[in-house]
Amino acid sequence: MTNPYNEVVLTQLKETAQKVFSGYALMHLKLENWKNDVADVLVYQLSTHILAEEVENRTKTICFKYPKSWWQMFKQQYFPKWLLKKFPVKTKKDTRLVTFKKYATYPKFLAIAFPEGYGGKIVYRSFITEKKGGVLDEYREEKE
């Protein structure tokens, strides 16, 4: 049967979100919610802490090159190659110092020995070892 009124039949479906927290993460779990009037939605935000070891910390100078203005961007995107040879795109350079950090995280580490607000040194013995010079060592230590 055809629908002369262009009606759409909607079905209500159940929507669920689930996240499992354990150990140290569960001890520091924080739930916030607010209403976003612009999008007409209710937002829930879960945040927590996890234990991590910093395994790399390096700084690198990055150079960004980009068109000088909107007109230069337009030329770059739409001008044919022969016209770009005659009127090349003028660019700007911007140099920034960027720090890259890499962490080994332990989200399931059971930290029942550490009370709320504990901010001291955490040392534990790892059962995972690698060859000498690897990222993981026999002893781990969180830097203060």
The pLDDT value given to residue 82: 95
- 2 pLDDT tier (thresholds 50, 70, 90): low
**Closest to 90 measured CA to CA, from 114, 115, 72:** 72
Rg (CA), the chain: 27
pTM over 0.75: no
CA–CA gap between residue 41 and residue 85 (Å, rounded): 51
Q: Which helix (H) or strand (E) holds 33?
A: strand 30-36
CA–CA gap between residue 81 and residue 73 (Å, rounded): 14
Q: Which helix (H) or strand (E) holds 84?
A: helix 81-86
